[in-house]
Amino acid sequence: MVVLAKGELEQIALPAGQRAAPPLAAVPEVDLAMAAANAGARAAAARAVARACEEHGFFKVTGHGVPAPLLARVEAAAAAFFALPQQEKEKAAAAPGGGSPFGYASKRIGGNGDLGWVEYLLLGVNAAGAAAPAAFPGAPLPAAPAGASPCSFRDLLDEYVAAVRRMTCAVLELMAEGLGLEDTGALARLVLAGDSDSMLRVNHYPPRPEPGRLTGFGEHTDPQIISLLRSNATAGLEISLRDGTWVAVPADADSFFVNVGDALQVLTNGRFRSVRHRVMVSSARPRVSVIFFGGPPPRERLAPLPGLLDREGGRRRYRDFTWREYKTSAYRTKLADNRLGRFEFDTTPAAAAAASS
């Protein structure tokens, strides 16, 4: 259970003007099973994915093929881990001063002062798609849920990551097709690379400690290429539309939600836009979510994919930079900061006129 001092609780609480819950979102939906039916269905799914990425940077995936029993076992094992005594959970924390972001943490998100009504496990992902064992230094591993085959939390996450990574690549291929790329594997290869920088985050949002709405995880965009989130049946996820309006995402424990990340925004030269999102806590029930972040290799140079610039007159929106450079910069900022801003070219008409003179 996350326990906060009164002063910390006041920092997490929303300003009075934001206490009302926003309206429900109409979330675009793509059925991967339907997309596999025939060429026409696949082309329609690719167009739907591209449209969702352009308009919202967000959609949900059904027919994903990840077994429901596996999802239930992961959710139960995560709940069992977070139900452990605090001192036991903290055995999975990174060593103090070691510089590693991986392991268990609570309340404090990153090292720049962000607070949330959340505790979490952040795990590295290796080339095979498994949660890196090094992320569990001395961690207690809960017993398997009743009726499940006996295995550790780590084993379950290994299996989960392998399944979700396959789905991630299927979604990335549809994105490439929707963009009209000749090389439809261009995005998926970045996540499948042997040195890809991917992560898994398991979040637990305890029930609200008092009436009202608390910030569970503050507004932000994800730095990586793509994020795939699955949660239990407790709501809380909210996204910002292009006009800045916040809308609540209806709870759906059977689907995966896809976020366009900052790196994908750069790779598409801004055609796909990363979605600003947050988690608000207002329920008497806990929320558990598991997110796979698909990132490129650290030395990968982020630049618009071949063929995309030709359709925009060759004008680039972002300067060249590596994933390592961007990640380092992003992790030095607060969650709500515009982290891509310092990498953008000035694309105002005045700047364009000056460049052509």
- What CATH number is given to the structural domain containing 302? 2.60.120.330
pLDDT at site 153: 80
Q: Is the pLDDT of residue 348 over 90?
A: no
Asked, for residue 167, whether it belongs to a domain, the answer is: yes
Note the pLDDT of residue 46. 98
Determine the 3-state secondary structure of 27 from DSSP.
coil
Is there a domain that residue 11 lies in? no
Domain membership of residue 13 (yes or no) is no
Across 128-132, 206-210, 297-301, least confident range: 128-132
pTM of the model: 0.89
Whether the per-residue pLDDT at 324 is higher than 70: the answer is yes
Domain limits at 130? 22-343
What tens digit of pLDDT does each residue of 151-188 get?
Answer: 578 788 889 999 999 999 999 999 999 999 999 999 99
Examine residue 16 and state whether it is found in any structural domain, yes or no: no
Residue 355 included in any domain: no
Domains of the chain: total: 1
Instruction: Look at residue 75 in the predicted model and tell me its pLDDT.
Output: 94
Is the residue at 2 inside a domain? no
215 three-class SS: strand
353 domain-assigned: no
The tens digit of pLDDT for each residue in 212-222 reads 888 999 999 99
Digit-coded pLDDT (tens) for 247-304:
999 999 999 999 999 999 999 999 999 999 999 999 999 999 999 999 999 999 999 9
Question: pLDDT value at position 16?
Answer: 39
Q: Is residue 352 situated within a structural domain?
A: no
Contacts of 33 (CB under 8 A, 6+ apart): 62, 63, 64, 65
Reported as a pLDDT band with limits 50, 70 and 90, residue 40 is very high
88 CB-near residues (< 8 Å, 6+ apart): 140
Answer whether residue 136 shows pLDDT above 60: no
How many Å apart are CA 168 and CA 160, to the nearest integer?
A: 12
